[in-house]
Amino acid sequence: MVKYVVSRLLLLIPIIVGVSFIVFSILSLTPSDPASIILGMNAEQEAIDALNRQLGFDKPFLVRYADYVIGAVTRFDFGKSYITQKPVFEEIASRFPNTLLIAFAGVALSALIGIPIGVYSAVRQYSVGDAIASVSAMFLAAVPGFWLGMTFMLIFSLWLGLLPASGANTWQHFLMPVLTMALPAAAQMLRLTRSTMLETIRQDYIRTARAKGASERRVIFTHALKNALLPIITMLGINFGTQLSGAIIVESVFSIPGIGTLVVSSIRMKDIPQVMAATIFLATLFCLIILFVDLLYAFIDPRIRAKYAKAKVNYQIGRASCRERV
């Protein structure tokens, strides 16, 4: 298990390097330069050239990327924002709690909605409730996030006046963003839970449990749902990671100061250090979430625990035989 975790953590290195190089290349190859954006269109060319030299844009692309990587690895220095002149992770640390709250609440709400309805749809296949749930899931999965958010804003803010339209000052400001994130994810969770449960309840051991006189509740929630959890947990982990990095639309619609709006504003201002730091942070976080989901498998599925235990025993036997030969 420890060897597996270490190997997965080492795999983060080429992933982060690749992500950083791609993002740095795209930002560097786009037209315009940060000095022109910062100083404005009416600035003199001499002032623009001086600021570009100060920011290092007089150097070749590969030299700038190498300097960035060396500073990040040796000194953990990811630079300062071109706009605020503050360390980039200070801005990320101040905005990340809002993004984390929206993503976590959205994933939790999607699981609370999608999994029970998915189980019901599988158990009551071809019923009226199953048809309504399936049609609703297809509709929510196809609806764009910005349209759903603007619809909530129109209904609950403009027409009913129940919730604030923008900001992040109180818990009420997060209700519509969380719903906007949760409903499409709940639709995916519903469809996945339904399909996995339909496959599971047709297995022989489910028929054996029923033949032994187990109650239907025990058969469904103890035997069937527990064995159908692996793909559901995978989807939860992927949804959490994608909602952390994909909250740009929701945060932009509801004007929430999160990492999404930070990335958008930094791209507009061509604030390369800020965009790079936010991208690396989100990519690392996503990889760690997937690693946590993989490790969670061992606690849920005894077959995976047995596989790790067998590998450990074989490793110990191999070491013992090598010592005997020596």
Distance linking the first and last C-alpha atoms of the chain:
27
123-143: per-residue pLDDT in tens? 998 899 999 999 999 999 888
199-232: per-residue pLDDT in tens? 988 888 888 888 888 888 888 888 888 888 888 8
Q: Could you give the CA distance from residue 239 to residue 104 in angstroms, rounded to a whole number? A: 10
Do 211 and 67 touch, CB atoms closer than 8 A?
A: no
- Residue 78 scores a pLDDT above 80: yes
Per cent of the chain over pLDDT 90 is: 26
Which tokens sit at 104? 């976590």
What fold does the segment set 89-269+286-305 form as a domain? MetI-like fold (1.10.3720)
- Residue 257 scores a pLDDT above 60: yes
Per cent of the chain over pLDDT 70 is: 91
Q: What is the pLDDT of residue 185?
A: 92
- Length of the chain equals 326
Number of alpha carbons in the 13 Å side-chain half-sphere of residue 96 = 12
Parse the chain into domains and list their residue ranges.
2-74, 89-269+286-305
Q: How confident is the model at residue 11 (pLDDT cuts 50, 70, 90)?
A: confident
Q: What is the pLDDT of residue 182?
A: 92
The single residue listed with the structure tokens 């930070």 is 262
Mean pLDDT of 68-88: 86
Which tokens sit at 196? 């996995």
Helix axes 272-300, 229-245, angle to 10 degrees: 170
Mean pLDDT of 180-204: 91
Closest CA to 186 of 235, 225, 226: 235
Backbone phi, psi, residue 80, to 5°: -115, 150
Q: Could you give the CA distance from residue 187 to residue 89 in angstroms, rounded to a whole number? A: 34
Mean pLDDT of 80-97: 88
Do 224 and 197 touch, CB atoms closer than 8 A?
A: yes
Average pLDDT, the chain: 84
